[in-house]
Amino acid sequence: MVMSLRKLAVNQKGCIKAVTASGEMGRRIRDMGLVPGTPVMVVGRAPLADPVALRMRGFTLSLRNSEADCITVEAV
């Protein structure tokens, strides 16, 4: 199922399919290693659901929901 990264549940895995952000935010997201084909897993959320913590490529990364909305993933 293809969805926004923001919609993945805690402990759910997915594979990045596309980054729809453009400009500075798109460059920043790609610079962090969030590129198509990268497997990710949501490891936690803050109490108000923002930000979301991801595990990828051996490290944990936190993203704001506005950034996670720009990343399309396929849940596995």
Q: What's 66's domain CATH number?
A: 2.30.30.90
- pLDDT single digits (tens) 5-23: 999 999 999 999 999 999 9
Which pLDDT score is estimated for 56?
94
The number of domains in the chain is 1
Entry pTM? 0.89
Q: How far apart are CA 47 and CA 19, in angstroms?
A: 26
Mean pLDDT of 54-59: 94
pLDDT of residue 65: 92
Name the residue range of residue 71's domain.
Answer: 2-75
